[in-house]
Amino acid sequence: MLEASNLECVRGERSLFAGVSFRLEEGEMLHIQGKNGSGKTSLLRMICGLSPPASGELRWHGTPLHQLGEAYRAQLCYLGHHNAIKDELTPIENLLSSARLAREALDDDAALDALELVGLGGREDLPCRYLSQGQKRRAALARLVHERRALWILDEPYVALDRAAVGLVAGLVGAHLQRGGLAVLTTHQAVAVPAGTVHELWLGSHDAPESGQQAT
Amino acid sequence: MLGVVQAIIGRDLRLAMRRQTDLAAMLFFFIIVVSLFPLGVGPEPEQLRRLAPGVLWVAALLATMLSLPRLFADDHRDGTLEQLTLAPEPLGLIVLGKVIAHWLVAGLPLVVLSPVLGVQFDLEVDALSILTLSLLVGTPALSGIGAIGAALTLGVRGGGVLLSLLVLPLYIPILIFGAGAVDATLTGLGPEAHLSLLGAIALGGVFFAPWAAAAALRIALE
């Protein structure tokens, strides 16, 4: 269970957002929306623990994040703006090395399966610098196929992907929610996730009728 | 615990092998700087012998400086550094892995080359072996202390110059004891005292610097 109360983010002199609160239970997803520059990525980095909130508090199963450290990071899978893909390595090397660093047991066959599933079958031995932007994104998203950590935090996961891949990622997120996982993601695309409850959170002002920064 | 250090070393070594031009540029820089001195100073063996330890050590410092800016910059650019920070391991251990890998790629080749280059300065066998030994003991400290500078200047514009200004003064004790060990051998005093101090700096550098660098990286990523 992930809870946030009255989060505030300050960048320089400017307050990006304030009073952001939400509560996320097992099997639920938080969809963060907002204009460019409204602080979506900042909020995600806050939830990861990469940057502390200017005020307010985040709690994981009731314990404040700053007291958890490694125990929380072991539950967390973050996919940021950047793909965290090494251009010199092949997709399968990228996948295996990121799994090793996350202390996950991933064997070659499982990694090959994952790459096959995201449509990189036959390209697993090609250095990533020869891949297109969308293929690199797919290589990064291949991590999610065997990912069993409880909290997924995805920053614009659908960027650069074609329609089939978007459906695939939505399916992976849906399966994750069905297993009782939690997910937080930002996207500008309206993509239906096949399972789980979706909460919407708007940062800043917007035109939709249910305006406000409270997600329930 | 050590698994993550191994994983990082393995990954960084593999990356370095795929990007050999960086390594080659650094080694050629080292070779050329060292080789220019006998040409510039003239061929008197006595003078060259006196210059040798200082020249080789200064060239090693500068060659290390060439490779330092990329220690974290590449990982920072492609988002890998964020992933490393979020790994369920202490960031200090991950930085330790990167420091060891940096030494294997950028420090050890200098150590291996130094006896060959030392011959140009007409060094005797015992002075050559002490020179190599002092570099072997001292270069890990260069990687460790350099990591702090690389982390502090991460993402700063013109970070390369700042990095040199920050790190080179910290290298002074290593330079003094490293070159001093060879001088002491040449004058017959024996290099033990210098080498032990150098070893102490290296141990401190390799085991404490990663934690300082890790703290700097967390601030840089905020």
User: Tens digit of pLDDT for each residue in B176-218?
Assistant: 999 999 999 888 888 999 999 999 999 999 999 999 999 999 9
ipTM above 0.85, yes or no: yes
Under the banding of pLDDT at 50, 70 and 90, the label for residue A206 is low
**A52–chain B nearest CA distance, Å:** 8
Nearest residue of A to residue B75, measured between CA atoms: A84
Nearest CA in chain A to B15: A88
| Chain B CB within 8 Å of residue A87 CB | yes
Interchain CB distance below 8 Å, B86 and A74: no
Reply yes or no on whether the pLDDT at A212 is more than 80: no
DSSP SS3 for B174: helix
Closest Cβ–Cβ partner in A50, A82, A87 for B85: A50
* Residue B91 C-alpha, separation from nearest chain A C-alpha, in angstroms: 10
Question: b/e per residue, A113-139, with b = 16+ CB within 10 A?
Answer: ebbebbbbeebbeeebeebeeebbbbb
**CB-closest option in A49, A51, A86 to B80:** A86
Segment B137-151, tens digit of pLDDT? 999 999 999 999 999
Choose the closest CB to B4 out of A93, A98, A101: A101
How far apart (Å, rounded) are the C-alpha atoms in residues B189 and A8?
64
- Tell me the C-alpha distance between B118 and B54, whole Å: 11
Within 8 A by CB and 6+ apart from A194, the residues are A170, A171, A174
Burial environment of residue A200 by CB neighbours within 10 A (0 to 12, 13 to 18, 19 or more): middle
Residue in chain B closest to A95 (alpha carbons) equals: B11
**Nearest Cα to A111, choosing from A78, A89, A82?**
A89
- Testing the interface with A: which of B15, B70, B83, B93 to mutate, by most A Cβ within 10 A? B83
What is residue A216's predicted lDDT score, i.e. its pLDDT?
47
Q: Whole-number mean pLDDT of chain A?
A: 87
Residue A9: strand pairing partners: A17
CB contact under 8 Å between B86 and A48, yes or no, is: yes
Across the interface, whether the CB atoms of A86 and B7 are under 8 A apart is answered: no
- Render pLDDT for A132-188 as a digit per residue (tens, 0 to 9): 999 999 999 999 998 889 999 999 998 888 888 899 999 999 999 999 999 999 988
Confirm if A24 and A192 have CB atoms less than 8 A apart. no
**Residues in chain A closer than 8 A to B18 (CB atoms):** 88-89, 127
Q: What is the pLDDT of residue A197?
A: 85
Identify all chain A residues contacting B88, using CB atoms and an 8 Å cutoff.
Answer: 70-71, 73-74, 102-103
Question: How are beta strands A63-64 and A76-79 bridged, if at all?
Answer: unpaired
Task: Find all residues with CB under 8 Å of B128, minimum gap 6, and list them.
Answer: B115, B118, B119
pLDDT in tens, A18-48: 889 999 999 999 999 988 888 899 999 999 9
* DSSP 8-state class, residue A214: B
Q: Is A149 on the interface with B (CB under 8 A)?
A: no
Beta-sheet pairing, A76-79 with A151-155:
parallel
Give residue-wise pLDDT tens across range B18-72: 999 989 999 999 999 999 999 998 889 889 998 999 999 999 999 999 999 999 9
Please report the DSSP string for A164-200 in residue order: HHHHHHHHHHHHHHHTT-EEEEE-SS----SSSEEEE
Partners of residue B87 in chain A, C-beta under 8 Å: 73, 101-103
Q: What is the structure's pLDDT at B113?
A: 95
Q: How far is CA B83 from CA A49, A81, A101, A131, in A?
A: 12, 12, 9, 21
Query: According to the model, what pLDDT value does residue B140 have?
Result: 96
The answer to whether the CB of A149 falls within 8 A of the CB of A120 is no
Contact list in A for residue B7 (CB cut-off 8 A) is 97, 100-101
Is residue B188 a contact partner of residue B65, using CB atoms and an 8 Å limit? no
